[in-house]
Structure 1
């Protein structure tokens, strides 16, 4: 049985087992008291609009975009089990939520799955922290210390080393005569190693165990809808959420390993540290407690590290860029020609080359166009309404989970010519950018909860992509044409969109890497 069918089967079995609880909820059902909700499709008792969302398949951003189009509304109201949801599908609606009323939507919703991650509130990081003094402090630490432009520059040599190792590994696979390599898997391994080095350094004594637990956690965070999150008040739903129990065990193991890494850093304090990693930075700030508005607890430090690992190791954008280039040979040839003409046989690509504009102008347009069509987080990170307010004339009740469908906005023909076509040149003479002020293009969000790691993520992605395109030519597997490529998406509970079946390509070394490290 296919995965989607199996998930659907368990979903309906779960609902059947919950029937007594459903009857009780129907008996006690009351009115929300809000009179002017946004437009909504018809709902069933208790399960609300779940049947309509699931009928469209597992891709929530597709299903929500379809429902908004059917109702011709930029603001959509859905009831997903017990969870009230509002979806913004236009730049105007996104602007009101992320700018005009940004403070009213500055919280993150805490589902049962999220509560596992934040340990009941004792381990809030930048990703899930509730708006308030603690969030303002962790945001300040990110902006000024962990993810600042200065720190991004300081760690460029680490990114360059990992990019060279990636080239060496792919070249070795090509030399062994392997027909294809899994590009996404190779990039993911390189980015994970990069993030481990940046966050906990090279001196951790259990790196393999740490990477294994981290990979298991990433697998647990893909592809399954949790009944416990849809029906948080039902103990039966929580009982049926086996994935949540495995996530709890993985979370405990991850925090145990983080304790070990932190202890190692503490033990060597006082010794000369040539280069601070992010654990060093957080421990230094913890010792400067008088300068902090809120105490930097070990729970906060570990949640910081968890969020940095999860965000920094995300490689879906790189895989989507490579897929779009393979699907559009004209664009691939243009990007490679510009790189190779500018670098003129250099041994390696460096960030200095990219910062000085060598062969990078067109690749930058390619990345922008990919973010428009294949944003790695198509619904952005969810927000929660802190107080009932009006958006586009409609009432959004307090406690509502709010999504901004950046995927739908980026493909809206009202704002984009040939919206479904991959045309990097559209950005050549356009001032539209992803800095959070052009609401028709917000792949990193906007407002207070905009992605704080954008600069570090872009620097890593740009270098990896330039390196792959400079050193290799790429071919599709035998018998597969660009128009026949499998571009099927899958979406995980972490709200990320990636290629479901991976990207398998044949690398051909074009510019050998003479000295690999």
Structure 2
């Protein structure tokens, strides 16, 4: 026992010495200001369960460029549009690295990943492929019918719920529809069925995977603990990643068999493109890149798209007059005798404003995906050392009264007659980031979210379950890889007949 106690005291002393050295280094390096924090632990306990809110509060004290010590990790937090422009535009190249969580390391997922991979030849080739081969208007237009079909299946499901007098779980429906829309865009097939038991199970798997890949792990803050994985986060993440990889292996194997045994015409979906590119001699895009890329599109694409739909419906149910404005716009442009199509979206400015306002208040990834300084860089008169993690608080920037009047109110009208968009040039509105690490899947996400939301409102009147007033609607957030609604949104639909 005495030997164990001495070992423990030695270990604590060792950590304290490292902490003291790092604290001295931090003070002498002209980092941005920030809280001193506790010995060894730093400001870990100040993060709370909703880090985006905690960091916004701290930024009010320490400024829009702030330093935190989280264990042995130095993190700089950006909380203003001006500082975001410096980091994501002026010094885009310097901050193009990724701070990768330990949970993303199993099966070399982060090594071959687009979202988490480090800036280099392979990452640049993957980004080029996304921009020039996958998310192009021509490619997305060619697969439009598949996505529209998934939305029609959603409407049939909601009509069945209407006949049974059941409330609709908006989040679950949004997950299944978004997932199958993405799945058909990726490899021309559904993954799960609406209302099935597998839908609930698969949504849980998606949520668990997103949480594992996006949740902090103690070994991220104390690197020596990575070897023991004390919370088991990496081991659990490995299970989820493996399950998805096995699913993709099965789909890829069937595709290869189909093309090798028959002369069928290629489907022209994303998988066909990726398989062809992975066989090109000299290309940086290897076959090992395919499954990580598919997994990112599944998890990030489905989670962010479905959460945006659910938050938009929640905000509209809280604001019935704005729901009616959307419905009237749809009635005027679409009429009642045909279904909404993707090509209609450009003629629906108020619907677009609703989506923008939802993304302002509820950005899918409130702190964006963590950046990393690849070189020591001066920002705002301060020094950000090489390998420092950089978090951009898009949630805080989107609610900053400096840029937004009445910032916590849901006011889609603020985007009407405005050219503000989420394409990364308006730094007070960056729900998908900006610069070279900006989300490449925006074109697909925009189509899926707008089409699904428009179809739901065009075909049905919505209200909260009996006995629930808007004041009782729970709008708490759950912080994970994406910011979902903590309590699922249930709503009662009535078909529109006139």
Superposition TM-score, scaled by structure 1 size: 0.87
Per-residue CA deviation, residues 83-133 of structure 1 (Å, 9 max, x unaligned), is 211110001100000000000000111221122263472xx1221111010
In the TM superposition, 1:301-320 aligns within 5 A as 301-314=290-303, 315-320=306-311
Q: Is the 8 A contact 1:378 1:443 kept in 2?
A: yes
Cα distance between partner residues in 1 of 2:148 and 2:449: 11
Distance 1:36 1:351, change over 3 A: same
Q: Is 1:222 the equivalent of 2:211?
A: yes
Query: Aligned to 1:441, what secondary structure does the other structure show?
Result: coil
The aligned residue for residue 52 of structure 1 is: 46
1:192 corresponds, among 150, 161, 179, to 179
The aligned residue for residue 6 of structure 1 is: none
Query: Aligned to 2:76, what secondary structure does the other structure show?
Result: strand
Distance 1:431 1:156, change over 3 A: same
Cα deviation for residue 195 of structure 1 reads 1.9
Cα distance between partner residues in 1 of 2:90 and 2:242: 39
Query: Aligned to 1:102, what secondary structure does the other structure show?
Result: coil
Distance 1:463 1:182, change over 3 A: same
Q: Is 1:61 the equivalent of 2:49?
A: no
Q: Is 1:261 the equivalent of 2:255?
A: no
The aligned residue for residue 286 of structure 1 is: 278
Q: Is the 8 A contact 1:217 1:247 kept in 2?
A: no
The aligned residue for residue 467 of structure 1 is: 455
Query: Aligned to 2:68, what secondary structure does the other structure show?
Result: strand
Cα distance between partner residues in 2 of 1:428 and 1:130: 38
The aligned residue for residue 123 of structure 2 is: 135
Query: Aligned to 2:401, what secondary structure does the other structure show?
Result: coil
Q: Is the 8 A contact 1:22 1:46 kept in 2?
A: no
Gaps of at least 5 residues in structure 1 are 1-16, 513-517
The aligned residue for residue 507 of structure 1 is: 493
Query: Aligned to 1:234, what secondary structure does the other structure show?
Result: helix
Aligned length: 480
Per-residue CA deviation, residues 373-427 of structure 1 (Å, 9 max, x unaligned), is 1111111111001011111011111111111111111111111111111111111
Cα distance between partner residues in 2 of 1:19 and 1:489: 40
The aligned residue for residue 379 of structure 1 is: 367
The aligned residue for residue 144 of structure 1 is: 132
Cα distance between partner residues in 2 of 1:402 and 1:437: 19
Distance 1:119 1:419, change over 3 A: closer
Structure 1 segments, 4+ long, off by >6 Å, are: 17-20, 207-211
In the TM superposition, 1:320-331 aligns within 5 A as 320-331=311-322
Cα deviation for residue 249 of structure 1 reads 1.8
Distance 1:208 1:481, change over 3 A: closer
1:38 corresponds, among 32, 43, 55, to 32
Cα deviation for residue 208 of structure 1 reads 10
Query: Aligned to 2:208, what secondary structure does the other structure show?
Result: helix
The aligned residue for residue 273 of structure 1 is: 265
Distance 1:344 1:218, change over 3 A: same
Distance 1:365 1:20, change over 3 A: farther
Cα distance between partner residues in 2 of 1:485 and 1:214: 22
The aligned residue for residue 27 of structure 1 is: 17
The aligned residue for residue 183 of structure 1 is: 170
Cα distance between partner residues in 1 of 2:210 and 2:322: 33
Q: Is 1:95 the equivalent of 2:85?
A: yes
Q: Is the 8 A contact 1:214 1:254 kept in 2?
A: no
In the TM superposition, 1:243-258 aligns within 5 A as 243-258=233-248
Distance 1:247 1:470, change over 3 A: same
The aligned residue for residue 8 of structure 1 is: none
Q: Is the 8 A contact 2:84 2:392 kept in 1?
A: yes
Per-residue CA deviation, residues 424-465 of structure 1 (Å, 9 max, x unaligned), is 111123222211111111111111011111011000100000
Q: Is the 8 A contact 2:368 2:393 kept in 1?
A: yes
Cα distance between partner residues in 1 of 2:224 and 2:274: 37
Query: Aligned to 1:240, what secondary structure does the other structure show?
Result: coil
Q: Is the 8 A contact 1:111 1:232 kept in 2?
A: no
Cα deviation for residue 20 of structure 1 reads 6.5
Cα deviation for residue 255 of structure 1 reads 1.7
Cα distance between partner residues in 2 of 1:326 and 1:421: 14
Q: Is the 8 A contact 2:99 2:372 kept in 1?
A: yes
In the TM superposition, 1:140-179 aligns within 5 A as 140-178=128-166
The aligned residue for residue 497 of structure 1 is: 483
Cα deviation for residue 28 of structure 1 reads 3.5
The aligned residue for residue 11 of structure 1 is: none
Per-residue CA deviation, residues 69-88 of structure 1 (Å, 9 max, x unaligned), is 122x1101111112211110
